[in-house]
Amino acid sequence: MTSQDQNSGFRSDDNGQSSFLGKLLTIDSKLGNQDVEGLKFLCRDCISHRQLEKSSSASDIFDHLLEEELLSEEDPFFLAELLYIIKQKSLLRYLNQSKEQVESLLPTRGRVSLFRNLLYELSESIGSENLKDMIFLLRESIPKIQMTSLGFLAYLEKQGLIDEDNLRLLEDLCRRVVPNLMRKIEKYKREKASQVVTPPVDREPESLHQRKEEPFSRSDIEELLEALPALPKGSWQDQPSRSSGSLRTSFSLVSTEMLGASPATLPSETSTEKASVYRMDRKHRGHCVVVNNHKFTSMSDRPGTDKDAEHLRHVFEWLGFSVRVYDNVTKGHLDNVLQEYKCHPGHSDGDCFVFCVLTHGKFGAVYSSDGTLVPIQEIMSHFTAQQCPGLAHKPKLFFIQACQGEEIQPPVFIEADAVNPERVPPSLQDSIPDEADFLLGLATVPGYVSFRHVEKGSWYIQSLCNHLKSLVPRNEDILSILTAVNNDVSQQADREGTKKQMPQPAFTLRKKLVFPVPQEKL
């Protein structure tokens, strides 16, 4: 490693850490490309996929682990575990660890999941010829690019074709190509079945201010809004703002990384419905949180929002959720609510989690009642598998009733193939975490206002609740319901017919989400 690489690899303000960082650089210099690939794969549950994709060396990964406080001079065990798994046990000495010490601590301190350990072990036993055979069997679903065995398994996981509870496709491949690997899979099943699920024990509370990544910084938002032309205030809009009459006519469901992924099965097999639907038969449906901001310290009130909050409570209680409504939530109160539900022990026995925010907003962010702008991504990041293990592999739904900009969507009275084609609509991809099982439902597309009737409530929330009531009994899945909501809201307009709205969902759901039909009628 060059001196330039050493200077750019790690950031530290404490000279006392230089010795420890030097040891990490030494470890980095002794790891090859295959080792780096292994480290990236083993860290998929604790470092965002975007960051891992940008990591080209072990030092890049170490840097992320340091930032996430998963690695320190005082506690280097997680790195020791990683080196042990990739069979670089000789490097443990740089961390003052031994093979025996790591083995004795793994049962109580190990962070790498059984599932990830299994895939890594399998990759080591899948030779190049075996890999060719597996890719051939899935030739309709696998891109024609060169892959390692580990990259192949990572691709299957990324596309939602395998997960810790669904190894059917992997078992079929192994039976046909490498039958002796079935022993490893059976061992994994036995160990997983014997695991005792315990409530997650978290470190000291983490403030929203401490997050390292934000999809949109304050300066980004201000720069975007300054670029929008000014119009008079709209009497219906959720955010006191200037508005533009520009039109955007291209709207769609956005699925980060999941669009275009078709279910892959072996030629003689078909997937069962059960494997493609989220489980909804645990002890309770889950928790639903509603943040309802009506009054603000420095912004206009939001009359009609209490109607939305009551409707959400009514519908989600009907669906079996335990619902809590929090009114006029300050930034400090929001931190406490997020911390409470991030560590809630009830998640382990629940099927799902819902978080609703009714407030003023801007592009990619929402306002607390005391006027603090909070990025949506920061709210959602509290419920990733790493931060909230009790919700791992379970659907997490976020519904945001707030403006996402200052433009107003006027109605279209003539057809056009394109309007302002040079303007590319912003993507929601940066707002949702880089992992599966999230859904974000926005009342409006990024850059535009949303509307709320001062007595009846908002167009979006009222439509969402009404369609849940009518379509859940028909066994419709959540994406079909949100498509119906899109259609309904898009057809609404104010009295003058000059203001329109289009909601937009973004999701990384791996399966269909179908709420069981409640026994009681609503």
Last residue of a domain, one of 69, 88, 112: 112
- Cα angle 198, 276, 180; round to 5: 75
What is the length of the chain?
522
pLDDT given for residue 437 in this prediction: 92
Residues 358 and 397 in one domain: yes
Residues 404 and 480 in one domain: yes
Whether the CB-CB separation of 20 and 60 falls below 8 Å is answered with no
Residue 50 within any structural domain of the chain: yes
Residues 25 and 131 in one domain: no
Residue type, 353: F
Q: Which pLDDT tens digit goes with each residue over 392-423?
A: 999 999 998 875 434 433 333 322 223 333 33
Tell me the β-bridge partners of 291.
Answer: 326, 357
Give the number of C-alpha atoms closer than 13 A to the C-alpha of residue 512, restricted to the C-beta side. Answer: 16
Q: Which pLDDT tens digit goes with each residue over 310-352?
A: 999 999 999 999 999 999 999 999 999 999 999 999 999 999 9
Total tally of structural domains belonging to the chain? 3
Residues 300 and 186 in one domain: no
Last residue of a domain, one of 167, 194, 221: 194
Residues 167 and 103 in one domain: no
pLDDT given for residue 220 in this prediction: 42
Q: With cut-offs at 50, 70 and 90, classify the pLDDT of residue 472.
A: very high
Whole-model pTM above 0.75? no
Residues 335 and 395 in one domain: yes
Residue 263 within any structural domain of the chain: no
For 191-260, strand residue ranges (E) read 254-255
Stretch (H or E) spanning 134: helix 128-137
Q: What is the DSSP letter of 516?
A: P
Residue 171 within any structural domain of the chain: yes
Residue 251 within any structural domain of the chain: no
Residues 152 and 39 in one domain: no
Residue 481 within any structural domain of the chain: yes
Residues 373 and 298 in one domain: yes
Last residue of a domain, one of 151, 173, 194: 194
Provide the residue range defining the domain that includes 169: 117-194
Residues 174 and 296 in one domain: no
Q: Which pLDDT tens digit goes with each residue over 180-219?
A: 999 999 999 988 887 644 444 433 333 333 333 333 444 4
Contacts of 189-192 spanning 24+ positions with Cβ under 8 A: 191/114, 192/114, 192/115, 192/164
Q: Would you call 4 helix, strand, or coil by DSSP?
A: helix
Instruction: Give the CATH number for residue 375.
Output: 3.40.50.1460
Q: Which pLDDT tens digit goes with each residue over 348-362?
A: 999 999 999 999 887
Residues 61 and 146 in one domain: no
Instruction: Give the CATH number for residue 126.
Output: 1.10.533.10
Residues 374 and 449 in one domain: yes
Residue 517 within any structural domain of the chain: no
Residues 68 and 173 in one domain: no
Question: What are the structure tokens assigned to 427, written together?
Answer: 């993507």
Question: What are the structure tokens assigned to 517, written together?
Answer: 């039909």
Q: What percent of the chain shows pLDDT beyond 90?
A: 49
The residues annotated as belonging to the active site are 360, 403
Residue 204 within any structural domain of the chain: no
pLDDT given for residue 454 in this prediction: 52
Residue 27 within any structural domain of the chain: yes
**Left if phi > 0, otherwise alpha if psi is -120 to 50, otherwise beta: which for 69?**
left
Q: Which pLDDT tens digit goes with each residue over 291-303?
A: 999 999 988 888 8
